[in-house]
Amino acid sequence: MERKAERPNPDALLGRFKNEIQEEGGKLKIYFGYAAGVGKTYAMLNDAREQAESGRDVVIGYLEPHARPETLELAKGLETLSPKKVLHRNIQLTEFDLDGALARKPELILVDELAHTNAEEMRNKKRYQDIEELLAAGIDVYTTVNVQHIESLNDIIAGITQIVVQETIPDQFFDQADTVKLIDIDPDELLKRLAQGKIYQPDRAGVAMRNFFTKDNLKLLREIALRKAADRISFENSRISILTDKFASMKLLVCIGLAPSSSRLIRWGARAAEAFHAPWTVLYVDDGDTEKILPEEKRALRENLELAERLGAEIVTLNGDNLAETIAEYAKQSGVTDIVVGKSRRKRRLIGLWEEYLEDQIISEIHNIEIHIIPAEMAVGRKAKSRRRRQFIKPITWHDTAKMMGLLVLATLVSLGLSELGIGDQNVIMVYILSVLIISRITEGYLYGVLGSLLGVLLFNFFFTTPVYTFNTIQAGYPVTFAIMLIVALVTSALTVRIKKQAKQAVAKEHRTEVLYEINKQLLVTRNLAGIAELTNDYVARLFGRSAVFFLEDPLSGHAPAFQQVADEAGADKLLTEDEQAVAHWVFKNKKRAGAGTDTLMGAMGHYMPVISQGQVLGVLGVYCLKEKGLLTQDNRLFLRMITSQVAIALERQKLSDEQRTILIEAEKEKMRGNLLRAISHDLRTPLTGILGASSAILENTATMDDQTKTKLVHDIKDDSEWLIRMVENLLSITRINEGLVTVDRTEEIVEEVAAEAVGRIKQRFPDREIYVKVPDEPLFVPMDGTLIVQVLINLIENALRHGGETAKVWLEVGRSGEEAVFTVRDDGIGIPPAKLPHLFDGLAAGEEDQADRTRGLGIGLSICYSIVRAHQGRMAAYNQEAGGHRGHGAVFWFSLPLAKGGEQNGTQTSHTFD
């Protein structure tokens, strides 16, 4: 029994299996080699022909035009897609037609040159991104790539061949391939083929053999390719054990800076993480001097962070003035086991004799973490020194210079006043130190603090040391005093500048935290999807100063997005154009960023980011990127990603709430349907029994039954049959109205005519009953569907006649109350049982067990009346006359209809008394 209880839910397993099938994409097979000409394309075509012969739908998407006879011969007989021709800088280029391949949608497609960079006019920047779309569409792909195009190996191969390969693919894309087939050939054979002109034309072959295609280069490239393939096989064979211990053995932290050579550290970290199958993080420490960073340094930082993201690293940006302390503290908190830093060789100078290296500072902070030092270029050290000089020497401004001079003059005047009062020199020194502290506080950079310190010492020497008004001193102790005064002033100045910087960073962090908290708080109280979208747009517009658009649904579904425009962006409404919506559709479909500042659909006017929760795209947020404001910075992107994560939680919560509400409504509907069916079964049983009994009596006593009895039985059969017909019609009516299948066509009707028609039809059924009618003296026109309102009045009057008793009288009154026409039907019968009043219009009263007359149940007809009145945007209620203050007994039913067609729907069941 216990084992049975632990068995998984079959429905849950089936649902998960279906989701996996739906999310399963195409299979990727990469033909991998160490150089051009090893036979990758030939092997790919050969396998493709075997697949075609086995019955698969195979198409050649793109082949590089190398004019190799053997390769071209293999391509014959296979369907080939026409390449897309693109005019780029007055040169016609041929590119892979991605849209044509998606429209054709074969089972298997061949796309040569995986690392190719597309023309700017194409949708994606790189061809591997085209292949990602093919795989997402469920198309299997065969492709080719060489080892020099693997991103993490780029710097190693550049060191071997002295050629920097610009076209690369992320290691993650290569590692996630379903199959990697290594195509190998001996370097001597490759050089022989090259000399025979089987790879390049004879003129190009000679140049290649003197540069890239040297025997030593090919041997090393072959070794790297074989090692890469062996690492993949080793990882696949040990996948099960790795998954259990992966996060407990090793964690890498790669520390990068502003230098372009940081990419070397990132690639080394990617290779190490892949070799040890360990998670890794790329850390950048911002010291707060953002305004001092040169544009090329900002660009290098952005490119390095994007490279780290492509290679699968976690990116962390911290603020801190002390680089070593910040790195060490993060390493302690996050469980890092290995730290990777870069270092360039630099000459020892006198000023740097007491300067400790970064790796030594980190070792002094933490002792149980291994540190890997990667050599960097000499230029890196020179750039770092240049940046430190820029931090120290900020451009001189008249504004800050005036502040410094004014404070020094004020300090001198105060010191002269203290000297006149006979106060000692030590207090004068404190006044100058205080002035230096204030100068450092109200000016920018270190320069004014240093100048203020020097000038303060000189002013003290000039005005307050003997002989005065000279820069000479005859007292032996004053040089020491000057030195201490200068040191104290410099230290306090440096500490003040550092505290200012840290305060600025703290304010920025606090502002960001406050914004996220405020957004989260507002999202918690927002209860609909449209409100969440509008709130998000409002915050994005205020924080980034850019217009924003939020798509809650795929634009192809026709749903209008939420749009927030900033006042100074006149052309931001272009985010709503079809071209921009096509970008949002691509993001919905592929679950990736696109638009300005990305590698996909770069020509878009907005930067589009998916809002994802549990693998599902809940929305797409677009931010307008004007040329004047430029692309989003890396910091803005990270902040935007944090905002979208909060929005994703809110959207997921709201969708779950909506689904829960829908489930509750459906459950309530099912409950009402069950009660309705029980009520119908009871209501139909008695008339059917009466019909059966009367018809049986006639058939069995035809010869002996007198005509009067026979006529009475036939009339009973007719009455019960008419009641059954009306019951069926009412059931059909209420079903159609509740399901929204009936459109109420309201036209101006005179209430007197409507009341007369209803009473006339009732009189035909009950000719002997008393019905009193009261209508306005002047014609009252009410917008209504006359046929349906007549049915309501008939149901109410018939209900009063049948349930009020055989001698009960019925009154129908019509009047005007404000902007409504009020219809009242009352009787002087026995009234409505109090227990049934709360459920009188929901179809439940007819199912009560203590109801005596099942033939004439209350609930069905009243539920129909209530639905019709609600469809007219009216109100309806009922009460007993005793509760309403009337004299006598009986029940009162009333409903009101708005005199204007635009009345709001209100179905509140409240009591209302009319005299």
Cα end-to-end distance, the chain, whole Å:
71
User: How do residues 395-435 score in pLDDT, each as one tens digit?
Assistant: 567 877 888 888 888 888 888 887 777 776 677 778 877 88
Q: Rounded to the nearest 5°, which phi and psi values hold at 33?
A: -140, 175
- Report residue 374 as tokens: 């990667």
If one counts every other C-beta atom within 10 angstroms of the C-beta of residue 735, the result is: 15
For residue 819, give the amino acid letter.
Answer: E
**pLDDT at position 359, please?**
82
**Average pLDDT of every residue of the chain:** 79
**pLDDT at position 915, please?**
31
CA contacts within 13 A on the Cβ side of 189: 7
**pLDDT at position 683, please?**
66
Over residues 884-910, the mean pLDDT reads 63
Most confident residue range from 69-78, 457-466, 584-593: 584-593
Q: Where are the domains of the chain?
A: 22-238, 247-346+355-391, 398-504, 743-915
List, in order, residues 6 or more apart from 87 with CB less than 8 Å away.
93, 121
**What's the CATH superfamily of 22-238?**
P-loop containing nucleotide triphosphate hydrolases (3.40.50.300)
Given a cut of 60, is residue 601 above it in pLDDT? Answer: yes
CB 331 within 8 A of CB 366: yes
DSSP class per residue in 544-598 = HSS-EEEESS-GGGTPPPEEE--TT-TTGGGGGSHHHHHHHHHHHHH-S-EETTS
For residue 97, give the amino acid letter.
Answer: D
What is the rounded CA–CA span in Å between residue 472 and residue 479?
Answer: 10
Given a cut of 80, is residue 744 above it in pLDDT? Answer: no
Bridge partners of residue 253, in order along the sequence: 281, 339
If one counts every other C-beta atom within 10 angstroms of the C-beta of residue 773, the result is: 15
CB 734 within 8 A of CB 669: no
Size (the chain), residues: 915
Q: Does domain 247-346+355-391 have CATH number 3.40.50.720?
A: no
Over residues 321-350, the mean pLDDT reads 80
List, in order, residues 6 or more apart from 571 with CB less than 8 Å away.
605, 626
List, in order, residues 6 or more apart from 14 with CB less than 8 Å away.
none
If one counts every other C-beta atom within 10 angstroms of the C-beta of residue 643, the result is: 22
User: How do residues 789-846 score in pLDDT, each as one tens digit?
Assistant: 888 898 888 888 888 777 888 999 999 988 899 999 998 888 888 877 777 776 544 4
SS3 738: helix
What is the rounded CA–CA span in Å between residue 305 and residue 397?
Answer: 35
Most confident residue range from 268-272, 352-356, 704-708: 268-272
- Report residue 294 as tokens: 């040169």
What is the rounded CA–CA span in Å between residue 316 and residue 255?
Answer: 10
For residue 72, give the amino acid letter.
Answer: L
* Cα of 821 vs its chain's centroid, Å: 50
For residue 309, give the amino acid letter.
Answer: E
Burial 122-151 (b: 16+ CB within 10 A, else e): bbbbbbbbbbbbbbbeebbbbbbbbbbbbb
Query: Are 22-238 and 247-346+355-391 equal in CATH topology?
Result: yes
What is the rounded CA–CA span in Å between residue 208 and residue 262?
Answer: 30
Residue of higher predicted confidence among 437 and 7: 437
**pLDDT at position 783, please?**
92
Q: In Å, what is the CA distance from 504 to each residue of 258, 304, 445, 635? A: 21, 26, 13, 16
**pLDDT at position 845, please?**
43
Q: Rounded to the nearest 5°, which phi and psi values hold at 247?
A: -90, 5
List, in order, residues 6 or more apart from 55 with CB less than 8 Å away.
none
What is the rounded CA–CA span in Å between residue 193 and residue 199?
Answer: 7
User: How do residues 678-703 score in pLDDT, each as one tens digit?
Assistant: 666 766 777 888 888 888 888 888 77
Given a cut of 60, is residue 13 above it in pLDDT? Answer: no
- Report residue 558 as tokens: 């026709």
Inter-helix orientation angle 634-700/707-738, to 10°? 180
User: 625-629, 649-653, 671-675: which has the minimum mean pLDDT?
Assistant: 671-675
CB 596 within 8 A of CB 631: yes
If one counts every other C-beta atom within 10 angstroms of the C-beta of residue 692, the result is: 12
Geometric angle at alpha carbon 279, from 278 and 282, rounded to 5°: 130
Instruction: Give 155's DSSP letter.
Output: H
User: 207-221, 365-379, 675-689: which has the minimum mean pLDDT?
Assistant: 675-689
Over residues 424-453, the mean pLDDT reads 76
Spatial CA neighbour of 229 closest among 154, 293, 153? 153
Residue of higher predicted confidence among 417 and 65: 417
**pLDDT at position 237, please?**
65
**pLDDT at position 290, please?**
60
Spatial CA neighbour of 864 closest among 689, 732, 739? 732
- Report residue 300 as tokens: 């290098």
Given a cut of 50, is residue 7 above it in pLDDT? Answer: no
**pLDDT at position 672, please?**
63
User: 311-320, 407-416, 595-604, 628-637: which has the minimum mean pLDDT?
Assistant: 628-637
Given a cut of 70, is residue 562 above it in pLDDT? Answer: yes
323 dihedral zone (left: phi>0; alpha: psi -120 to 50; beta) = alpha
List, in order, residues 6 or more apart from 430 with CB less than 8 Å away.
none
- Report residue 456 as tokens: 């303060």
Band of pLDDT at residue 332, cut at 50, 70 and 90: confident
Q: Give me Rg for the CA atoms of the chain.
A: 43
Over residues 489-502, the mean pLDDT reads 72
**pLDDT at position 243, please?**
42
Spatial CA neighbour of 874 closest among 800, 811, 819? 819
For residue 413, give the amino acid letter.
Answer: L
What is the rounded CA–CA span in Å between residue 736 and residue 730?
Answer: 10
Q: Does domain 743-915 have CATH number 3.40.630.10?
A: no
How much is the pTM?
0.62
Given a cut of 90, is residue 621 above it in pLDDT? Answer: yes
User: How do residues 265-307 score in pLDDT, each as one tens digit?
Assistant: 999 998 888 888 888 999 998 876 665 677 788 888 888 888 8
Given a cut of 90, is residue 59 above it in pLDDT? Answer: yes
- Report residue 780 as tokens: 């009252």
SS3 424: coil
Given a cut of 70, is residue 223 above it in pLDDT? Answer: yes
- Report residue 430 as tokens: 């404190």
CB 191 within 8 A of CB 331: no
**pLDDT at position 730, please?**
64
SS3 344: coil
User: How do residues 125-181 score in pLDDT, each as one tens digit?
Assistant: 899 999 999 999 999 999 999 999 998 888 888 888 888 888 899 888 898 899 999
**pLDDT at position 30, please?**
95
If one counts every other C-beta atom within 10 angstroms of the C-beta of residue 509, the result is: 11
User: 240-254, 410-424, 440-454, 494-508: which has the minimum mean pLDDT?
Assistant: 240-254
Band of pLDDT at residue 244, cut at 50, 70 and 90: very low
